[in-house]
Structure 1
Amino acid sequence: MSSGDGSADGPPEVDDDGIADLFDELEELAEIVDSESEREQVREAMRAAVEAQDADPAVFGRVVWGFDREDFAEAVLGSLLFGIPMAVEGGTRDAGLHIAGHPLYFLGTLATAVGLVFGILYVADFQDVRVARRFFGLVPRRLAVVTLTAFGTAVALLTAWGMVTWSTDPGLVWESLCICSVAFVPMAIGGALGDILPGS
């Protein structure tokens, strides 16, 4: 019979709050260690915690850390699931042409999409998403890759299905870019959800 401390039957089980607390402590440790080799050891411990957590079949309430090919594939799939209806809907083109006549709307559309992705990943608390790497020391890699993946998928899908055309005419290029930005908003949402909901 187990004594309750896990010594007889292997290591004690750690609940989701325990994993989150462990990550908090490891992140604090990474800030105070003296050398890059010590920081890398802390990162290895964080990777090991994620791998141990992956053995648990639970989907929600897990720590999500790092970004790999599997996350990229999930972001593409989520983008496509939300984007295919946009690629066959005439309203996408109409909205894009409207935006093309109002450049500030274009910027607002892009900012809205990025803000929604940020909110899904880091604010809505679907998962405990941690920042493993930053581009230029500021932009979380997951945020950048998910948004760029969604935008690239929007451009590829709408181009392949004839919703947009790219030519040497700057006006047509601008219209195509605006149409892609309209599809980008739901595709960014789909990419963010596809990335984190499987809990990988």
Structure 2
Amino acid sequence: MVDSDERDPDTGASDPPEPTDAAAPDHGPAEPDIDDLLAKLDALSDTVDEGHEREKVRQTISLVERMPGSAAFAERITKYTSRDLAESFVGAVLFALPLLVEGGVFEIAAWFAAVTVAGVPVLLLAHVGFVFVAVAGLLYFADFRQIAIRHPILGVIPRRYAGVLLVSLTTSTVMLLFWGRLHEGDPTTLERLGRIAVVWAAAAFGAGLGDILPGESEGEDIGPLDLDIGDES
């Protein structure tokens, strides 16, 4: 074969370049499975513009997930429903209850309030950051369920993530108030916040597990409601 830089003496034309792997068409995974199909359908649902077209894609995804023998049926969670909120509440209560009668919560809260840098409660802020990171890891990185992120709030915050954090925080605060543990001993405002933060950490874990462990919930996705700010679908 004549080198690509040389011309054929008979025709005067250069030989075509050798085919490369980069020019080969992308046919997807060599052995596609249902998860690959669902990923393609998820991507398709984000590209269609019409509401009825998007609903058709969602119905197709739901049909695939219910296919007999599909591991996605047991492991994949796509919808976020009012039942998920209820499951988060139950999990938060179960994990928060033991701490409501534990005096160590007061000691930890006092420690958070006492350690400050330039008046900033650095340990309390670090603890809150830990809760945010731990919940994200539990929902989206731990190998419990495959959680699909759809219609994030403001296009950034996953609804399930926000729901777990808000439900657990509200549950922790209300239970501390009802059980008379928030104001016991006349604590400072910072100590009260510390008590809430300590109980919140356990409640957030419980809310996350209560949400995802039962698997996909029945009922309508709450996505079309105002929780999806900026999403008109």
TM-score normalised by length of structure 2 = 0.68
Task: Name the residue aligned to 1:157.
Answer: 175
Task: Name the residue aligned to 1:109.
Answer: 127
Q: CA deviation at 1:41?
A: 2.8
- Aligned match of 1:172 in 175, 178, 188? 188
- 2:146 corresponds to 1:140: no
Task: Name the residue aligned to 1:183.
Answer: 199
- Aligned match of 1:195 in 211, 221, 229? 211
Task: Name the residue aligned to 1:87.
Answer: 100
Structure 1 Cα separation of the partners of residues 39 and 58 of structure 2: 12
Task: Name the residue aligned to 1:96.
Answer: 109
- Aligned match of 1:131 in 139, 146, 149? 149
Q: Which runs of 5+ in 2 are unaligned?
A: 1-31, 116-120, 217-233
Could you list the per-position Cα deviations for residues 32-64 of structure 1 after superposition, in whole angstroms to 9, with x for gaps in the alignment?
A: 3344442333234334445x36x98x8995111
TM-score normalised by length of structure 1 = 0.78
Q: CA deviation at 1:199?
A: 0.9
CA contact (8 A) 2:164 2:204 kept: yes
Could you list the per-position Cα deviations for residues 116-156 of structure 1 after superposition, in whole angstroms to 9, with x for gaps in the alignment?
A: 11111100121011112211110000000001111111101
How many pairs align?
178
Structure 2 Cα separation of the partners of residues 70 and 178 of structure 1: 30
CA contact (8 A) 2:34 2:72 kept: no
Task: Name the residue aligned to 1:7.
Answer: none
Aligned-pair Cα RMSD in Å: 2.6
Structure 1 Cα separation of the partners of residues 78 and 178 of structure 2: 34
Bigger proportion of residues as helix: 1
SS in 2 for 1:134: coil
Structure 1 Cα separation of the partners of residues 75 and 42 of structure 2: 16
Identity %: 33
Could you say which structure has the larger radius of gyration? 2
CA contact (8 A) 2:76 2:145 kept: yes
Change (3 A) 1:159 1:27: same
Q: Which runs of 5+ in 1 are unaligned?
A: 1-16
Q: CA deviation at 1:78?
A: 0.9
Change (3 A) 1:74 1:18: farther
